[in-house]
Structures are given as C-alpha cells and as structure tokens.
C-alpha cells in the first residue's frame, strides 16, 4: 500500500501495559492518548483561495483573499481553525505571525492580522 493511501493517527504516548489473549499469553502494547485527534485537509489554490475540510466535524471552509495573494490566507485559516477549537494555542501562535522572507531567505518582516479582525478576545 502506498503512503498516500494509508491513514494515520496522531497521539501522545502515555505508557505501556499488557493485554492477555484467550490463551493467557501476555502481549505488550503501547497506550496512546488520541483524545485531541482531528482530521483536516487544507489546500491553497489560485487567486488567493484557501480551502479546508474537517470531516470529523462535518465542516468545510473556503476563504478568498481579496488581493489574490496567499500570504494572508494562512493567518486567516489559522484563526478560523482556532475559533472552531481544532488548533491548539502553540500552533495558533506560530501561524498567527508568519515571517516574510526575501529571495535569499532573510527575514524582512512578519504578517500580522489587524487587531480589529481578531476581535476583542484576541
């Protein structure tokens, strides 16, 4: 099976334990916490369109950035995902102010959403 056809699960290892078979044999197993697992697919398109699906919530998202650039779409999508409760605080903070780099990779600025766009709770 190719990697693109496989499903994955994200989790955090919390320990080890044994499960006993019907024959009484002990099988060691890893215990995972997958309580915050969410499935999402995010795709950028032409003309500043950014789409996402959250099948576990039955939600689809489509954003259109007016100037046609994708530079603000990541910030906008991160804010929508945070509002829906599927993006944790650390990843949200990382996505909220992405760096702007020049042709040689030097950081020349940051993208920041307007405070009025984030709302009073931001």
Instruction: Report how far residue 56's alpha carbon sits from residue 87's, in angstroms, rounded to the nearest whole number.
Output: 14
Instruction: For 82-106, write each residue's pLDDT tens digit.
Output: 888 888 888 888 888 888 889 999 9
Chain-wide mean pLDDT for the chain? 77
Instruction: For 46-67, write each residue's pLDDT tens digit.
Output: 777 788 888 777 888 888 888 7
In the chain, domain spans:
3-33, 41-118
Instruction: Report how far residue 23's alpha carbon sits from residue 20's, in angstroms, rounded to the nearest whole number.
Output: 8
Task: Kindly write down the DSSP assignment for every residue of 42-100, as one continuous string.
Answer: EEE-GGGEEEEEETTTTEEEEEE-TTS-STTHHHHHHHHHHHTT-S-HHHHHHHHS-EE
CA distances from 51 to 45, 46, 83, 93, 104 (A): 8, 11, 16, 20, 29
For the whole model, what pTM was predicted?
A: 0.55
pLDDT for 108 equals: 93
Predicted confidence band of residue 118 (pLDDT cuts 50, 70, 90): low
Task: Kindly write down the DSSP assignment for every residue of 10-38, as one continuous string.
Answer: --EEEEEEEEE-TTS-EEEEEEEE-TT--
Which among 75, 81, 77 is positioned nearest to 115, based on CA atoms? 75
Predicted confidence band of residue 5 (pLDDT cuts 50, 70, 90): very low
The single residue listed with the structure tokens 């995972």 is: 32
């Amino acid at each position: 099976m190719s990697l693109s056809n496989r499903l994955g699960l994200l989790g955090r290892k919390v320990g080890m334990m044994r499960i006993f078979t019907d024959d009484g044999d002990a099988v060691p197993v890893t215990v995972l916490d997958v309580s915050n697992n969410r499935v999402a697919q995010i795709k950028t398109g032409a003309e500043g369109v950014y789409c996402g699906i959250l099948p576990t919530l039955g939600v689809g998202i489509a954003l259109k950035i007016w100037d046609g650039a994708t530079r603000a779409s990541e910030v906008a999508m991160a804010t929508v995902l945070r509002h829906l409760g599927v993006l944790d605080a650390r990843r949200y903070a990382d996505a909220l102010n992405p760096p702007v780099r020049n042709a040689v990779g030097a950081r020349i600025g940051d993208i920041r959403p307007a405070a009025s766009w984030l709302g009073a709770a931001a």
